[in-house]
């Protein structure tokens, strides 16, 4: 791939042709504020916070939509740039709660980071009395439009990444908001509850119902199907409380479906989860050892003819486990009756 050189704030940066100015700055660890840019989404250029000055180019182009070119000279922190950014943020927060200390997103919020960078501590424009009801209909996350800054990351995620298109930006002026078809609650829409929009929301508009934050994380593989998505389980007090996809993994690139993102903690800690082998005697299940359970299963299976036995494999098993199970069915039990739950 052809490489090009440009200068950003006096620092020479070498990147591949096709890189945007924003990506080039990020590669050189130069912070340019953004609220609508996401490495997984197409450039959008709507929040206008990544404006920069580029020598020999008129105006203030957005770094996220401007391709870097050889010899380009970029300045990211001039008075003109910061005046435009400041006005953009003033408009964004005109109707924003700004109750950071009690906000679910406190210290993880991109708007908070941007206002701190620009030294904004209070509103310049008067607040209106516009207020939206909070949509709590989804079992896993809430949509509080009062915090929404209309960056459209959620809408673009649902279109570009999940392909569901459950939400869009609707209405105009102060009534503009993220809405489902017919402006119904999320639970009545085509939303698949994958939470991909939630993880990209830069503010507290889309937040998980689980508000605790983990103390440490453990990397693992999602147990739900054979795709093998990699994830980090967030742990607090010995319990799984959060799940996030591993962005560096080639299998899922950080993406998760509803089962992986929201379905782990409940079953891992469910009081009815079986954690020991059990044998049913006189209609009642009783705990036993693995040796006894396996002996019992082998003895009972031996009482049946091959065509009286069927084996159902599981999408929760690894390929290797499913391979061994079909070997057990065909070579040991002598049956061709083998199927897989993924076909149901
Ligand atoms: S969304 Fe961010 S800026 Fe807004 S109140 Fe919460 S922490 Fe503060
Ligand atoms: S949870 Fe998934 S399907 Fe539902 S709106 Fe968000 S991205 Fe779309
Ligand atoms: S809900 Fe979040 S991601 Fe969606 S438009 Fe509002 S601020 Fe952006």
Q: Give the tens place of pLDDT for each residue, 69-113.
A: 999 999 999 999 999 999 999 999 999 999 999 999 999 999 999
Is it the case that residue 325 has pLDDT exceeding 90? yes
Measured CA angle at 221 (ends 233, 163), to 5 deg: 90
CATH code of the domain in which 250 resides: 2.20.25.90
Asked if the structure places residue 244 within a domain, the reply is: yes
Please report the pLDDT score of residue 343 as a whole number. 67
Ligand with smallest separation from the Cα of 207: 3
List own/partner pairs for 213-222 with CB under 8 A and 24 or more apart: 213/242, 214/241, 214/242, 217/244, 219/246, 222/256, 222/259, 222/260, 222/264
Is residue 19 located within the same domain as residue 66?
A: yes
Asked if the structure places residue 109 within a domain, the reply is: no
Rounded to 5 degrees, φ, ψ at 111 are: -70, -40
Point out the domain boundary residue: 92, 108, 139.
92
Write the burial class of residue 197 (CB in 10 Å: 0-12 exposed, 13-18 middle, 19+ buried): buried
Lowest mean pLDDT across 65-79, 118-132, 172-186, 196-210: 118-132
Is residue 52 located within the same domain as residue 72?
A: yes
Asked if the structure places residue 45 within a domain, the reply is: yes
Pick the atom of ligand 1 nearest to 99's CA. 5
**Mean predicted confidence (pLDDT) in 171-191:** 96
Is residue 259 located within the same domain as residue 289?
A: no
Point out the domain boundary residue: 273, 295, 325.
273
Write the DSSP string, 204-250: TTEEES-----SEEEEEE-SSSTT--EEEEEEETTEEEEEEE-TT-T
Q: For ligand 1, atom 3, name the residue with the nearest CA.
A: 112
Is residue 217 located within the same domain as residue 289?
A: no
Rounded to 5 degrees, φ, ψ at 161 are: -100, -50
Point out the domain boundary residue: 253, 273, 293.
273
What's the pLDDT tens digit per position in 205-259? 999 999 999 999 999 999 888 788 999 999 999 999 999 999 999 999 999 999 9
Confidence of residue 128 (pLDDT cuts 50, 70, 90): confident
Q: Is the CB of 206 under 6 A from ligand 2?
A: no
Taking residue 72's Cβ as centre, other Cβ atoms within 10 Å add up to 20
Asked if the structure places residue 199 within a domain, the reply is: no
Asked if the structure places residue 338 within a domain, the reply is: yes
Confidence of residue 27 (pLDDT cuts 50, 70, 90): very high
Provide the 3-class DSSP secondary structure of residue 22.
Answer: helix
Ligand with smallest separation from the Cα of 167: 2
| Structural domain for 242, as ranges | 213-273
Ligand with smallest separation from the Cα of 202: 3
Count up the domains in the chain and report the number.
Answer: 3
Q: Is the CB of 37 under 6 A from ligand 3?
A: no
In Å, how far from its chain's centre is CA 226? 20
Please report the pLDDT score of residue 1 as a whole number. 80
Asked if the structure places residue 81 within a domain, the reply is: yes
Is residue 17 located within the same domain as residue 81?
A: yes
Tokens linked to 130: 């516009």
CB 47 within 8 A of CB 75: no
Please report the pLDDT score of residue 225 as a whole number. 84
Is residue 268 located within the same domain as residue 299?
A: no
Tokens linked to 306: 């091959």
Is residue 230 located within the same domain as residue 291?
A: no
**Mean predicted confidence (pLDDT) in 257-267:** 93
Is residue 51 located within the same domain as residue 75?
A: yes
Is residue 296 located within the same domain as residue 245?
A: no
Is residue 18 located within the same domain as residue 81?
A: yes
Asked if the structure places residue 201 within a domain, the reply is: no
Is residue 249 located within the same domain as residue 320?
A: no
CB 213 within 8 A of CB 151: no
Residues 6 or more apart whose Cβ sits within 8 Å of residue 209:
136, 139, 140, 141, 142
Confidence of residue 342 (pLDDT cuts 50, 70, 90): confident
CATH code of the domain in which 85 resides: 3.10.20.740
The whole-chain average pLDDT of the chain stands at: 95
Q: Packing angle between helix 79-92 and helix 110-118, nearest 10 degrees?
A: 140
Ligand 1: lining residues by beta carbon, under 6 Å: 96-100, 103, 105-106, 109, 111-112, 147, 203-204
Ramachandran assignment for 202, one of left (phi > 0), alpha (psi -120 to 50 degrees), beta (any other): alpha
Asked if the structure places residue 170 within a domain, the reply is: no
Pick the atom of ligand 2 nearest to 157's CA. 7
Is residue 254 located within the same domain as residue 304?
A: no
Q: Is the CB of 21 under 6 A from ligand 3?
A: no
């Amino acid at each position: 791939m052809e490489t090009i050189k440009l200068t950003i704030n006096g620092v020479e940066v070498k990147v591949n042709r096709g890189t945007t100015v924003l990506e080039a700055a990020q590669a050189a660890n130069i912070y340019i504020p953004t609220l609508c840019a996401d490495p997984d989404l197409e450039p959008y250029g709507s929040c206008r916070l990544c404006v920069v000055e580029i020598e020999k180019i008129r105006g203030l182009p957005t770094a996220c939509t401007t391709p870097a070119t050889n010899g380009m000279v970029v300045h990211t922190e001039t008075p003109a740039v910061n005046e435009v950014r400041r006005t953009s943020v003033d408009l964004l927060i005109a109707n924003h709660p700004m109750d950071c200390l009690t906000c679910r997103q406190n210290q993880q919020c991109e708007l908070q980071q941007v206002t701190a960078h620009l030294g904004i501590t209070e509103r310049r424009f008067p607040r209106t009395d516009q207020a939206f009801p909070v949509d709590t209909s989804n079992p896993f996350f809430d949509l509080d439009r009062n915090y929404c800054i209309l960056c459209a990351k959620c809408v673009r995620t649902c279109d570009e990444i999940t392909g569901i298109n459950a939400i869009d930006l609707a209405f105009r002026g102060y009534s503009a908001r993220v809405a489902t078809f017919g402006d119904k609650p999320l639970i009545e829409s085509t939303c698949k509850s994958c939470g991909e929009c939630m993880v990209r929301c830069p503010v507290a508009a889309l937040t998980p119902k689980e508000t605790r934050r983990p103390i440490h994380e453990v990397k693992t593989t999602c147990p739900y199907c054979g795709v093998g998505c990699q994830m980090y389980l967030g742990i607090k007090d010995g319990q799984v409380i959060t799940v996030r996809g591993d962005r560096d993994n080639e299998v899922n690139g950080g993406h998760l479906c509803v089962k992986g993102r929201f379905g782990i903690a409940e079953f891992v800690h469910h009081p009815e989860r079986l954690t020991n082998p059990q044998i049913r005697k006189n209609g009642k299940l009783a705990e036993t050892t693995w040796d006894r359970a396996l002996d019992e299963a082998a003895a009972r299976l031996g009482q049946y003819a091959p065509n009286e036995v069927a084996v159902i494999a599981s999408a929760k098993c690894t390929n290797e486990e499913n391979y061994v199970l079909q070997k057990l069915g065909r070579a040991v039990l002598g049956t061709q009756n083998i199927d897989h739950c993924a076909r149901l």
